[in-house]
Amino acid sequence: MATNGSRPDSQLIALRDPRSPAAEAYRTLRTNIQFSSLDKPIQTLLATSTAPDEGKSTTLANLAVTMAQAEQRVILVDCDLRRPSLHGLFGVSNEQGLTSVILEQDERSLPLQEVGVPGLSLLASGPLPPRPADLLGSRRMEALIARLRGEADVVLFDTPPVIAVTDAAVLATRMDGVLLVLQAGKTRRDRAREARRLLEKVKANIIGVVLNNAKLEAGYGYYQ
Ligand SMILES: Nc1ncnc2c1ncn2[C@@H]1O[C@H](COP(=O)(O)OP(=O)(O)OP(=O)(O)O)[C@@H](O)[C@H]1O
Ligand SMILES: [Mg+2]
């Protein structure tokens, strides 16, 4: 568990304490992403990991806040249709979201939610479907990604671990870039290699690895 309280935004250090070293680390990540592809800016970016609880959602949510703080229009999309958590992080509901748009073929406005950060909106998971990978690989999903591209400068997608299920790999093929979140002292080297192999197999553009120290330094210099 996080050691930093139980407020809905307690994991959002970029919001809670923008002057902390951790918030600074997220700004460095933002800059590195910008520089990773100068000719073709990364507009769609997915985060995944090797195993559960490595800090994907926390990292992506803080990155989203940090990008919005730099006056980019950011949409955060919860594509973890197995253990969605972004709505909880921001203290909003996931009754409406990604799956409602896809299943209802909703042509009306997207159920984007304001989360108290100017420039940032959240498309929560919506009700959980029986076969997430099919939904994420569907034509409708492709159309939704195109639509989201039209509504923001950057669209960030949260997913389940890439080794356990195919969801992240399915979606990775449609992204400009992929971030692999590993946890120092916990992620096994062979698993990191396996995650990379699975992503390379689908020709994903892995633009970087984020080393999350959550469990290693919990209690003092966490969120690195
Ligand atoms: N840098 C960090 N410092 C301290 N705690 C962290 C950090 N990153 C994540 N955590 C904590 O670790 C737990 C898992 O984080 P998170 O939900 O972001 O991981 P995840 O990889 O998205 O998990 P899941 O596989 O369930 O989607 C949470 O309780 C979160 O508060
Ligand atoms: Mg998560």
List the CATH number of the domain containing 87: 3.40.50.300
d(CA 174, CA 14): 28
Comparison of pLDDT for 37 and 145, the residue scoring more: 145
Residues with CB under 6 A from ligand 1: 1-2, 11, 49, 52-58, 80, 83, 85, 161, 212, 214, 218, 222-223
Beta bridge partners of 183: 212
Question: Does residue 2 sit within a domain?
Answer: no
Mutate to test the pocket of ligand 1, among 4, 11, 48, 76 (most ligand atoms within 8 A of CB): 11
At 173, is the pLDDT very low, low, confident or very high (cuts 50, 70, 90)? very high
State the average pLDDT over residues 59-67. Answer: 98
What pLDDT, on the 0 to 100 scale, is given for residue 30? Answer: 96
Comparison of pLDDT for 159 and 108, the residue scoring more: 159
3-state secondary structure of 13: helix
Quick one: which H or E segment has residue 195?
helix 189-201
3-state secondary structure of 142: helix
Q: For the chain, what is the mean pLDDT?
A: 90
Question: Does residue 5 sit within a domain?
Answer: no
State the average pLDDT over residues 174-200. Answer: 94
Q: Examine the pLDDT at 214 and tell me if it is beyond 60.
A: no
Q: Examine the pLDDT at 31 and tell me if it is beyond 70.
A: yes
Give the Cβ contact number of residue 114 at 10 Å. Answer: 11
d(CA 215, CA 223): 9
At 5, is the pLDDT very low, low, confident or very high (cuts 50, 70, 90)? very low
Question: Does residue 76 sit within a domain?
Answer: yes
Domains held by the chain: number: 1
At 9, is the pLDDT very low, low, confident or very high (cuts 50, 70, 90)? low
State the average pLDDT over residues 200-221. Answer: 75
Beta bridge partners of 194: none
Give whichever of 40-44, 74-78, 213-217 has the largest mean pLDDT.
74-78
Question: Does residue 7 sit within a domain?
Answer: no
What pLDDT, on the 0 to 100 scale, is given for residue 104? Answer: 83
Q: Which domain holds residue 129?
A: 13-212
